[in-house]
Chains A and B, each alone.
Chain A
Amino acid sequence: MRGTWLLYRKEMLEMSRSFKLLWIPIVFTILGIMQPVVSVYMPDILKMSSGVPEEMFALYELPSPPVVMVQVLSQYSTLGILVLVLAGMNSVSGERYGGTAELIMVRPISTISIILSKWFAQCTALFMAFGIGYMAAYYYIYQMIGELSWKSGIISFGLYGLWLLLGITITLFFSTILRGGAAAFVTLAILAILSLLNAILPRWFSWSPSRLISLATESLTGNGLSASTAIECCLFTVGIIILAILSSSHLLQRRGLPN
């Protein structure tokens, strides 16, 4: 436990030195604020880019607060997750190929401590970024568009946060066996396949972790969120996360260091 805490502090120091703790939250905040602003000023933006017929303006309706929040989440599903995965892809592989891992692994520290410390550090960065970004988006929607139930806001934050957490855990897992770039590619491919399967065959994949996105959306728009599906989905995702952490610690121990 002590070793994990020490390594965690080292990870956090490294993250603040590489400005990750600053730039990732800023990117998430910009993404979160941009969406409500764009929705409100859409007619003006269209007016400035001339050539749009007048009838278009009459058709434009200001989306409701939950819809804008869903749009914010879909921004996080694309650019947000891309940033998180790419920023985390070198967390283990960078040290394995860079030589820092040798210095750590000759000490009597278990591999699970190494993996856990990295995982906790990634979690901290993730929840700082997603938390600040989500709150900023919520505030903007509240101020510019209208009220949004805080209860459904918190539920969707939790569900969507779990999905992002799965993303960074899979990144960490592949980062222990592959080089950084390949790890990011495989992770993004897996996440894309999961969401695609959920979109095509929602019945068959009710347990799929990518269901978390649609559950988060449902809790915002208030279309009867079924608690049992949500719990089943959350437990399954947590299971995958624990399994991924344990197996990456095992793999790091067995495979050791590349020459």
Chain B
Amino acid sequence: MDVMINWTLILPILVLQLVLAVIGLISLSKAQMVRGPKWMWVLIIVIGNMLGSILYFIVGRKDM
């Protein structure tokens, strides 16, 4: 596969997704009330990429 991909342009997306997941995990570790078990949200944030983190911030947190 001789696909030339300019990584300097794609890297920011990956970094931002990583930052989003890290923020989600930090928020999860601090949260006292979470809908459902915490390990489930860890999986959703880590596997679910951007949508997983959005889902956690909107549905998972109880003290919005």
Contact = CB atoms under 8 A, between A and B. Distances in A.
Contacts of A34: 13
A33 B23 contact: no
B3 interface: yes
A23 B53 contact: yes
Interface in B7-61: 9-10, 12-13, 16-17, 19-20, 23-24, 26-27, 50, 53-54, 57-58, 61
A44 B5 contact: yes
Q: Is the interface of A mostly helix, strand, loop or mixed?
A: helix
Q: For the side of the interface on A, what is the size category?
A: 20 to 34
Interface stretch (A86-94, A223-231, A238-246): A86-94
B9 A23 contact: no
Contacts of A20: 57
Interface stretch (A24-32, A51-59, A187-195): A24-32
A143 B6 CA distance: 12
A148 interface: no
A173 B16 CA distance: 32
Interface in A139-191: 140, 143-144, 180
Which of B17, B53, B58 is most buried by chain A, counting CB atoms within 10 A of its CB?
B58
A18 B23 contact: no
Interface string A3-29: 000000000000000111011001101
Interface of A: 18-20, 22-23, 26-27, 29-30, 33-34, 37, 41, 44, 47-48, 83, 86-87, 90, 94, 140, 143-144, 180
Interface of B: 1, 3, 5, 9-10, 12-13, 16-17, 19-20, 23-24, 26-27, 50, 53-54, 57-58, 61, 63-64
